[in-house]
Amino acid sequence: MEKQGKRRKSPWRLLEIITGLFLCAALASCSGGNRADDPVPPVETAGLTEQAESDEVPDPVPEADDPTPEPEAEETEIQEDNMEKDIADGFIPVIRLAVCSDTHITDTTNERAVRLGKLFDSAYRYSDAHPTYQKLDAVMMAGDITNTGWEAEYKALKAIVAAHIRQETQLITTMGNHEWIGGGPDVYLDCMSDTLDPHVVINGFHIIGVSPRNTNDYPAAQIRWLKNELKTAAEDAPGMPIFTFQHHHIKDTVYVSRSWYTPDYTVLRRALGAYPQVIDFSGDSHGPMNNPLSIWQEECTFLNTGTLYYFEMERGMTGGTLPPGKENAAQYYIVEADAKGRVLIQPYNILTDDFFKTPSNTDDPNEQLRYWIEKPSDPSTFLYTPARGEGASAPFFPEGSAITLSDLKDSSVTVTVPQAKDDQCIYSYRLVAQTEGRSKEVKYFSEYYFEPMPETVSCTVKGLRDGSSYTVSVYPVNAWGVEGEPITAAFETPVSEAADYEPNPTRFAGTFTDFENYKRPRRSEENGVFSGTADGDYFTGEWDGPASYGDTLFNIAREQGFEGSKAGSVKLNASSHGNRALYLYADAVNRNAQDFESTRYLRVWVDFTGIDFRKASFGAVNKYDELYTTDDIDGRTDLPFYCLPEGADSWKTMYHGTDGCFGAAQDSSVRNFKGWMAFPTSNFAYRGGSGDRFEGNTVKAVYMYFDFSSDDMLGKAFYLDEIAFVDDYKVFDEAQQ
């Protein structure tokens, strides 16, 4: 009996080797796209419970004493040999599908369009080269097939498909949340399909898709429909696999489903799980499909479909869910089943134009990644259950591995390690930098999702104390969360130089900025917290990452601030009101103050006339480029903030909600509020999740996260002024100039 936690080798290992041999030869010699003698067919989409026309199902698998069929004359010698062994092993496909999601098509020329074309071409190359079954029966696209769901994008998608698809292949699609951004279901039905929820039968195999309602809901009527279709499929083909797909994950199944899932996951899972032969595909998360957790079997089988756009990972890493190089993502599945109902699933990497290799770096580096389902209707035969992680072996660094340190500065250092080894998948690293009385932890990905996987991986650690001796330890972590022994190194940070500029004259003591010195603020194209660089007066963009968005507009407004002075003006000029942030920097050019006698409270004058927030929070960036916000204290309802309305003489105490924010969704609406607000900086917690609170008297940036409560506020400005750090928020001491 094999040891738990080790990679389970498929009983069809011989098939894996054989298929790999003929595939290598085939991909090297076969061309893709439409056959030269085939006209480009119109794009066809699947209809509701429509019985699809299909060729006759191939004969059942021959018994052991049946003669082996002769190969076709044009097959190569390697292919002839492989075909004989393929039949001897007993797996002869009678259906072939390509499955993808999150293509986010906008036009016919960008990289997503090119990748979608390559999906068809590579799937046809594989099909043409197969010794026993040379059709691609269908391409299934599980939502977010366009970026906004408008007619022009559907036209672009259909043009791409028409340039590559063959008459033999059906295109079967569902909506995702992005199809709801623009045209919604009406445009989808007009432009893309005659149904939101297709049920197609190909060669006796049932394929059922469901589209979300209201971006991510699967209401009761739809679940009842799904149950009925599943019952019909199970009665029509007892024990045979039923292929289902929808855009959203079911919580706590495949990788990233703990972070991204439909709120109706319970009823959806119950409906699908009533039939163990269900093989369900979902997307939305953009999680890499070569993560071992991208297939999950319990009551039935669930798979994550990846993306052709950019990677996004589960939460928990210091840099957020979007890894460096995230745009290098283009993947899909080739799914085959035989007449006995056995299923072979092969993840394909469009960027390397080859099948994915196993993420384990203790196996043969050329071993192809395959998922094998021997008997879909019998969970006792499942290979990809949660038991895979029980007793998993700890990852390890090879003997002689050492840390390399580079780019050492007063508050940062770059740490490089060789990749650790693991028999399943090196997922990430946990780095701990320790000095006397202080510890800094950074978690970052191993980049296992890139092929070839880089031999080393680096991380820049920021927020270190200058003039300090550090010990840095790097721990390897596998996909099951098992941590191995670290490798360590020591270094000393140089002493930093103090800022050599004087702050601008201000009205009140403790003022960070009152905007009087601004004429035209300079936009920083990078975020100092996440990139280490800030070369302007402000940054607007993502609330938890380095990317910049032009939809958040920051300007200086005359006569809109405290007592008619200048103010900072902020508004969203976009189609979405969600998750934006503003960073205001202190530097030698704008001469905003950096050092304060006390940073006990952040106090700011605001004008939210006509504005309310779903959620909002303030924070500060310390001298080490570390971000601290109330948003990073969750589960508490006792975190106060204070408000003094214009014209009032007494402060009102309000409380942040359970997400560490104020706003309509936190039972602390500030709609139409104008006046002073104050926040205890002791409630500003470190963004990295360590629980550390803000300390020190140096502030490099003031931060605000905001999310409007409704779209009718888009294009409207709110104003900030007299931002200050003070010991007592009720005291307005005049500054000594």
Asked whether 303 and 332 are in contact (CB, 8 A), the reply is no
CB 699 within 8 A of CB 599: yes
Given a cut of 90, whether residue 58 has pLDDT beyond it is: no
DSSP lists the bridge partners of residue 331 as: 349
Three-state SS at 267: helix
Which of 166-180, 454-468, 519-533 has the weakest average pLDDT? 519-533
pLDDT score of 615:
93
SS3 of 711, please? helix
The residues facing 308 across adjacent strands are none
Please tell me the predicted confidence (pLDDT) of residue 41: 39
Cβ atoms of 592 and 728 closer than 8 Å: no
Average pLDDT value for the chain: 87
Would you call 384 helix, strand, or coil by DSSP? coil
Mean pLDDT score, 573-599: 87
Give the residue-averaged pLDDT of 353-377. Answer: 95
Lowest mean pLDDT among 34-43, 391-400, 416-425, 722-731: 34-43
- Closest by alpha carbon to 599, among 496, 724, 448? 724
**Which structure tokens are listed for 66?**
């049946």
Least confident of 412-416, 452-456, 587-591, 720-724: 587-591
Which region among 128-137, 313-322, 340-349 has the lowest average model confidence (pLDDT)?
A: 313-322
pLDDT class for 546, splitting at 50, 70, 90?
A: low
| Per-residue pLDDT reduced to its tens digit, 667-726 | 999 999 999 999 999 999 988 666 788 988 999 999 999 999 988 898 899 999 999 999
Please determine, for residue 355, whether its predicted confidence score (pLDDT) is greater than 80.
yes
The whole-number pLDDT of residue 43 equals 44
Tell the residue number behind the tokens 């006339």, with chain if given. 609
**Does 77 have pLDDT greater than 90?**
no
Return all residues near 663 (Cβ < 8 A) that are at least 6 apart. 612, 613, 614, 615, 616, 657, 669, 670, 707, 709
| Whole-number Å distance between alpha carbons of 356 and 650 | 65
CA–CA dist 501, 521 (Å, integer): 19
The per-residue pLDDT for 549 is 65
Q: What is the mean pLDDT of residues 524-545?
A: 83
Rounded to two decimals, the pTM is 0.70
Say which range, 107-111, 397-401, 571-575, has the weakest mean pLDDT.
571-575
Q: Provide DSSP, 524-586.
A: PSS-HHHHS---SSEEEE-SSSS-B-TTEEEEEETT-SGGG--EEEEEE-SS---SEEEEEE-
Listed range (46-50, 390-394, 432-436) with the worst mean pLDDT: 46-50
In this prediction, residue 548 has a pLDDT band, given cuts at 50, 70 and 90, of low
Q: What ranges make up the beta strands (E) of 453-535?
A: 456-462, 469-478, 487-492, 511-513
pLDDT of residue 168: 96
Q: Give the pLDDT mean for 99-126.
A: 97
pLDDT in tens, 434-459: 998 788 888 999 999 999 999 999 99
Q: Is the pLDDT of residue 2 over 80?
A: no
Residue 28 has pLDDT above 70, yes or no: no
pLDDT at 9 over 60: no
DSSP 165-202: --TT-EEEEE--GGGGTTTHHHHHHHHT-S-SS-EEEE
Q: What DSSP line would sit under 84-129, residue for residue? A: HHHHHHT--EEEEEEEE----B--SSSHHHHHHHHHHHHHHHHHHH
CA distance 615 to 663: 5
pLDDT of residue 653: 97
CB atoms within 10 A of CB 35: 11
Predicted local confidence at residue 29, as pLDDT: 39
For 130, the token pair is: 């197969």
* Planar angle of CA 618, 623, 626, nearest 5 degrees: 55
Mean pLDDT of 620-640: 90
- Give residue 547's pLDDT: 65
pLDDT tier at 88, thresholds 50, 70, 90 = very low
pLDDT at 350 over 90: yes
Q: How far apart are the first and last CA of the chain?
A: 80
Higher pLDDT among residues 295 and 319, named by residue:
295
| Reported confidence tier of residue 90, pLDDT bands at 50, 70, 90 | confident
Written in H, E and C, the secondary structure of 213-250 is ECCCECCHHHHHHHHHHHHHHHHHCCCCCEEEEECCCC
What is residue 391's predicted lDDT score, i.e. its pLDDT? 86
* Residue 132: predicted pLDDT: 93
List 472's β-bridge partners, or say none.
Answer: 433, 489
Q: What is the mean pLDDT of residues 64-79?
A: 34
Given a cut of 90, whether residue 85 has pLDDT beyond it is no
pLDDT digits (tens, 9 = 90+) for 163-177: 999 999 999 999 999
Q: Which of 68, 95, 96, 94 is nearest to 82 (CA)?
A: 68
**Residue 34 pLDDT > 70:** no
User: The dihedral of CA 701, 702, 708, 714: what is its sign?
Assistant: negative
Task: Give CB contacts under 8 A, 24+ apart, made by 549-558.
Answer: 549/574, 549/580, 551/576, 551/580, 552/580, 552/582, 554/521, 554/523, 554/582, 555/521, 556/515, 556/518, 556/519, 556/520, 556/521, 557/717, 557/719
